[in-house]
Structure 1
Amino acid sequence: MPPESKIRPEYVLTLTCPNRPGIVAAVATTIFERGGNIREAQQYDDAESRRFFARITLDHPEDALDLPALRADLEGVASRFGMDWTLRDRAVRRKVIVLVSKFDHCLADILYRWRLGELPMDLVGIVSNHPRETYQHLDFADVPFHHLPVSKATKLEQEGEVWRVIRESGAELVILARYMQILSDGLAAKLSGRCINIHHSFLPGFKGARPYHQAHARGVKLIGATAHFVTADLDEGPIIEQDVERISHNDTPDDLVRQGRDIERRVLSRALLWWLEDRVLPNGSRTVVFRD
């Protein structure tokens, strides 16, 4: 039998800068001159913000990519075009921590997909304001669990502990998997660009608490869920992904909640996967998402 082919390391380059001619040519030439091979390229020119966005995956045909040299060359290109960029080895798993409250359906879905290998990440912690016994039916294996109860009187101290756990875990991304606590402006600022929330409604409608009951009271025919980056403005962060389900006048608020749980799970998992694959690029109050 022929020997198994070796899987070459693959890298993902993301970039954004003011739009002008020559960006693609400069980046592609730089990769070529270092022997790199572009495997996939996606780009977007936002006419409104006049910014250019791109996601490029690359490797080296002989697995001989001089990564430090390529980084140095790209730094020169970035300086010329005023570019924000990252270059990451796709084999390096990102560290993620999950914050959750009593409702655990999103957490259960993340754990399931993570164990299947659908979410290529290192799950470095679970933080909850409810005790471990709340999740007796879930297998956390060796993932550290942190019970950090909170009340109005202890919110600042509790958030200090949450921030300590995040820092000590080395988490690059924080997932609010139905974490039913509003983050303070200070913590939201510390987590800017690396904290994703699942809101159980189709934003910008029905913000805040009990959105399915709000939707039922208005007689809507579609319900949805929204995954977005967290900012200091409640439920106003840049949207990453949304989905909807059709409902009817026969559906009660409890029916909407039940159907909403399914939407929330899939919307959050998609947003998380796209972030892990470097497909989500900030664009002011919006995002650019390079889907498959």
Structure 2
Amino acid sequence: MGQEAVGRRPLGRPELPADGLWTGVELLAETGSTNADAVAAARAGAAEGLVVVAEHQSAGRGRAGRAWSAPPRAGLAVSVLLRPGTGQPPVETGRWAWLPLLAGVALAGAVTRVTGLDAWLKWPNDLLVDGAKCAGVLAEVAGDAVVVGIGLNVTQRAGELPTTGDGAPPATSLALAGARTTDRDALLAALLDHLARWYGRWRSAGGDADECGLRAAYRSRCATLGRPVRARLPGGEEVTGTAGTVDPDGRLVLATTVGARTLAAGDVVHLLDPVRPAGCAGGGQPLRWRRGFSGEHPHGG
């Protein structure tokens, strides 16, 4: 697998609850993209609950076709296959947009639980630690299935991280951020646990993010809210304003000089960096602001 993997333990196969969401794990030494593998499985009729994990991706990608790569065994590349429109109660497709945000909440909770780090989300689902990005989420629809991919930087050294530009935040890994542990088996188990719990609550509520508490949980983790931002929209337009809230559909609501703008998609740049009191995960204390951090979007699985 190469010199980069030396000293980095291989992943073990996670134990899955017999009556839980996850139906099987494909643990691969290397693949092109875990998302592509899971999408192919979905189109071939695989059941909900398939988990695809790879020690290394040769063609990992994030939103808008951006490349994502990591040395072998240095991170987590995980994709899960969900079928929210089947079963009882089915979730209408208009609410599926919450799934990548749900994955972000689950990822942040898992990282905080295992590592002790304060993990925050940049809308919609980049994971930030100390203002630097260490993970991202990519969701893809394949017929009646949704594949959610997560790429998490775990043990990368500074020289193994990508350089960033064009307003993107610096990259980091859990190890560089001072995690109390970088045990990838523990991280994977916690991630699957948090994902299953949140997905179950969301499904039981028919995809209603308010009823299941998902919107409140997301807002408590979202570092974008309350700060001045610049958003680059898919058509090329740029909008500047203050991020006010996330609406019931998961869209970002900006207060601009010409009124409110509601964004369903876009790359967000943070124009000011909030300095949160230590141990303040979830918000609730006043924020102080400093200049110097900006961010774009994302990694993927």
- Give the TM-score of the pair, scaled to structure 1: 0.25
Higher relative contact order (CA 8 A, sep 6+): 2
- Give the TM-score of the pair, scaled to structure 2: 0.24
- Greater Cα radius of gyration, structure 1 or 2: 1
